[in-house]
């Protein structure tokens, strides 16, 4: 079965499934924070409704239909993710896709209406022009969330510029019905500028005073000298409630919670119920997770992917948490094309201001190292490497008790495997560098 034929089959099956069960659909797009926002929304809505949100970031022409067609295991999805390169485990992949097709047909024809979720929470990726339009041809949301775009968004190398990325993502709110909701990040001027492109009710969230759902008094909480989580106030109308999320760190997770709160309000929930539900939110793997490191160190594992806006946020969190030394281990930011030098140099200046020591991984990240040195970081505190494997032993030897280590870079840089080399308890399914 060719990939083109497979895409046609799962697209048709996904459309039939939505026609058969008529679920409410919440769509999420943005250059950063989609998966965290998806999980935060699920935590809020699962309190009272049957909700499905897929493991991982199923947001492509094959991934989004998979999220619609079933609740597949992590092991199954690993077969069709970047964890399994093309050409490997062909038989197992074929068996999985046959299982997807057969199970979907049975579900469409025979399953009871209450056997399917009331609400689907889906990610819509926009790697290239036309992606959002294609995905909307499969499933059109009733509620759409745009998280952030930023000045240099990821995947911008496939577009004419950042404005074109924003226009593509803006399609998600263009197709909303008049009775739907467009949930927009009020702190991102590009996202806020898209509001005229929808006929739906616009609801904004963020830290700025103009946000309809406002986050205030944000703190990274510390208990007995160790990071414990985040807390903030959630404001809507005349109501204010406190929110505390243990095990989550940084403003990025507060933004995810703010978007989820706006969705909860759109579904008629009150602030107290939303606050209670957010206490059960946990960030996804390798996204601003605090994990124990070897030698009594602490790691901020934000290794899943990287963009300019996410790098800045992660460095801000590194600076805000207590530590004897703050070490930034930063890899290349990919798919930003002609903006590569500019973006990496900006992060280098941020790193010089917020970290005590800098390790860089990859040829593009050398721009980070050079800019950090030009901004005043000592040459002896900067360690550039071409690949994660080369940085493994030097990093292990360098870290010591009390260090706080941020690890972040684009997925292809294998920064998650570098985390496994220095964490105290390895995670099953993530292979250390050899």
Would you list the DSSP string of 80-137? TSTTS-TTSSHHHHHHHHHHHHHHHHHHHHH--GGGS-SEEEEE---SSTTHHHHHHT
User: Is the same domain home to 92 and 185?
Assistant: yes
In a domain, 127, yes or no: yes
In a domain, 343, yes or no: yes
User: Is the same domain home to 300 and 389?
Assistant: yes
pLDDT the model gives residue 429: 46
| Whether residue 434 has pLDDT greater than 70 | no
Q: pLDDT by residue (tens digit) across 328-359?
A: 999 999 999 999 999 999 999 999 999 999 99
Q: Are 44 and 183 in contact (CB under 8 A)?
A: no
CATH number reported for the structural domain that contains residue 331 in this entry:
3.90.190.20
User: Is the same domain home to 248 and 313?
Assistant: no
Q: Are 162 and 153 in contact (CB under 8 A)?
A: yes
Given pLDDT bands bounded at 50, 70 and 90, which one contains residue 85?
A: low
In a domain, 59, yes or no: yes
| Whether residue 427 has pLDDT greater than 60 | no
User: Is the same domain home to 173 and 295?
Assistant: no
Q: What is the mean pLDDT of the chain?
A: 92
User: Is the same domain home to 294 and 372?
Assistant: yes
Tokens matching residue 297: 């160190």
User: Angle of helix 90-110 relative to helix 3-21, nearest 10 degrees?
Assistant: 20
User: Angle of helix 415-422 relative to helix 388-398, nearest 10 degrees?
Assistant: 30
Domain count across the chain: 2
User: Is the same domain home to 269 and 293?
Assistant: no
Q: Are 183 and 257 in contact (CB under 8 A)?
A: no
Domain-ending residue, one of 253, 278, 303: 278
User: Is the same domain home to 239 and 296?
Assistant: no
pLDDT the model gives residue 129: 93
In a domain, 433, yes or no: no
Smallest Cα–Cα separation from 406: which of 419, 388, 391, 424? 419
In a domain, 386, yes or no: yes
Tokens matching residue 60: 């492509």
d(CA 163, CA 193) in angstroms, rounded, equals 11
| Whether residue 284 has pLDDT greater than 50 | yes
User: Is the same domain home to 109 and 152?
Assistant: yes
Q: Are 115 and 48 in contact (CB under 8 A)?
A: no
What secondary structure does DSSP assign to 222-246, as a single string?
Answer: EETTEEEEEEEEEEETTEEEEEEEE
From residue 205, give the alpha-carbon distance in Å to each of 30, 198, 199, 305.
14, 17, 18, 24
User: Is the same domain home to 205 and 326?
Assistant: no
User: Is the same domain home to 101 and 201?
Assistant: yes
pLDDT average, residue stretch 216-241: 90
Given pLDDT bands bounded at 50, 70 and 90, which one contains residue 83?
A: low
| Lowest-pLDDT choice from 24-33, 106-115, 415-424 | 106-115
Domain-ending residue, one of 244, 278, 312: 278
In a domain, 428, yes or no: no
Q: Which of 56-65, 143-152, 255-264 has the highest mean pLDDT?
A: 255-264
Tokens matching residue 138: 């499969």
pLDDT average, residue stretch 101-105: 94
pLDDT the model gives residue 225: 73
| Whether residue 426 has pLDDT greater than 70 | no
pLDDT the model gives residue 431: 45
d(CA 72, CA 17) in angstroms, rounded, equals 16
Q: pLDDT by residue (tens digit) across 174-203?
A: 999 999 999 999 999 999 999 999 999 999
User: Is the same domain home to 238 and 157?
Assistant: yes
CATH number reported for the structural domain that contains residue 152 in this entry:
3.40.1190.10
In a domain, 327, yes or no: yes
Range of the domain at 192: 3-278
From residue 74, give the alpha-carbon distance in Å to each of 71, 77, 156, 428.
9, 5, 29, 12
Q: Are 26 and 122 in contact (CB under 8 A)?
A: yes
Question: In the chain, what is the greatest distance between 2 CA atoms, to the nearest angstrom?
Answer: 67
Helices (H), 223-332: 251-266, 271-278, 308-320
Domain-ending residue, one of 278, 309, 334: 278
User: Is the same domain home to 143 and 82?
Assistant: yes
In a domain, 268, yes or no: yes
Smallest Cα–Cα separation from 121: which of 13, 199, 44, 16? 44
pLDDT average, residue stretch 78-102: 81
């Amino acid at each position: 079965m060719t990939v083109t034929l497979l895409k046609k089959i799962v697209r048709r099956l996904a459309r039939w499934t939505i026609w058969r069960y008529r679920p409410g659909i919440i769509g999420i797009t943005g250059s950063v924070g989609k998966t965290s926002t998806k999980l935060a929304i699920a935590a809020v809505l699962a309190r009272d409704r049957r909700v499905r949100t897929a493991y991982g970031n199923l947001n492509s022409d094959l991934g989004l239909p998979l999220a619609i067609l079933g609740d597949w295991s992590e092991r199954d999805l690993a077969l069709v993710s970047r964890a399994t390169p093309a050409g490997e485990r062909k038989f197992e992949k074929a068996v999985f896709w046959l299982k997807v097709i057969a199970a979907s047909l049975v579900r469409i024809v025979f399953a009871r209406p209450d056997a399917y979720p009331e609400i689907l929470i889906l990610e819509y990726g926009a790697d290239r022009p036309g992606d959002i339009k294609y995905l909307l041809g499969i499933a059109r949301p009733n509620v759409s969330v745009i998280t952030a775009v930023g000045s240099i968004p990821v995947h911008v190398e496939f577009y004419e510029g950042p404005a074109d990325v924003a226009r593509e993502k803006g399609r998600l709110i263009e197709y909303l019905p008049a009775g739907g909701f467009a949930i927009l990040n009020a702190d991102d001027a590009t996202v806020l500028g898209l509001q005229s492109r929808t006929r739906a009710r616009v609801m904004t969230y963020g830290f700025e005073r103009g946000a309809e759902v406002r986050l205030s008094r944000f703190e990274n909480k510390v208990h007995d000298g160790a990071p414990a989580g985040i807390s903030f106030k959630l404001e809507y109308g005349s109501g204010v409630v406190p929110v505390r999320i243990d095990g989550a760190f940084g403003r990025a997770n507060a933004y995810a919670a703010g978007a989820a709160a706006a969705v909860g309000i759109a579904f008629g929930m009150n602030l107290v119920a939303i606050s209670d539900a957010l206490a059960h939110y946990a960030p996804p793997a390798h996204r601003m997770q605090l994990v124990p490191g070897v030698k009594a160190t602490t790691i901020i594992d934000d290794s899943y992917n990287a963009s300019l806006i996410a790098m800045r946020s992660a460095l801000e969190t590194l600076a805000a948490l207590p530590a004897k030394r703050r070490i930034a281990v930063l890899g290349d930011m990919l798919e930003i094309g002609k903006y590569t030098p500019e973006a990496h140099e900006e992060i280098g200046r941020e790193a010089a201001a917020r970290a005590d020591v800098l390790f860089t991984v990859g040829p593009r990240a050398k721009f980070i190292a050079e800019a950090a040195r030009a901004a005043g970081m000592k040459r002896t505190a900067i360690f550039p490497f071409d690949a994660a494997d080369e940085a493994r032993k030097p990093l292990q030897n360098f870290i010591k008790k009390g260090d706080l280590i941020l690890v972040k870079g684009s997925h292809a840089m294998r920064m998650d495997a570098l985390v496994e080399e220095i964490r105290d308890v390895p995670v099953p399914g993530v292979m250390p560098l050899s």
